[in-house]
Amino acid sequence: MSPTLLSESVVVADVLADLPVVKNSTTSRVVVNNELLRHVMFSMDAGQVLTEHSSSRAVIVNILSGKMLFTVSDAVQTVSGGDVIYLAPNERHAVEAVEPSYMSLTLVVQPTSEETS
């Protein structure tokens, strides 16, 4: 996807229709990508796993539908449609779809020290 201009608003329609749950697969699509944030949509079939990883950015995860096991700092939590997870920068986490699921995540660029003072 080409970068999304920070100065222009955009509507991205039919994202879930364009991102069906595929048998035995995890699929993702970057919806917004600019110097401030990146927003990514995921579809995951039951049993699919995103192994433990981290991001240098703060992350907000929205579970849109389905049921997932979300691991943060070795604590496993069952999450489902409507649940929201905040991940601090560099927090190790993993995800496993218990049933076919959709989630979105937003990665936010950390402000510089000049921006926070």
* Interval 56-115: pLDDT, tens: 999 999 999 999 999 998 899 999 999 999 999 999 999 999 999 999 999 998 766 555
Domain assignment present for 35: yes
CATH number at residue 64: 2.60.120.10
21 is a domain residue: no
Tell me, yes or no, whether 12 lies in a domain. no
Residue 113 is predicted with a pLDDT of: 59
In a domain, 61, yes or no: yes
Token readout for 29 is 């699509």
Looking at the domain assignment, is residue 6 inside a domain?
no
Q: How far apart are CA 84 and CA 86, in angstroms?
A: 7
Give the pLDDT mean for 38-49. 98
Within-domain flag for 8: no
Number of domains, the chain: 1
pLDDT for residue 29 is more than 70: yes
Is 9 inside any structural domain?
no
Structural domain includes residue 90: yes
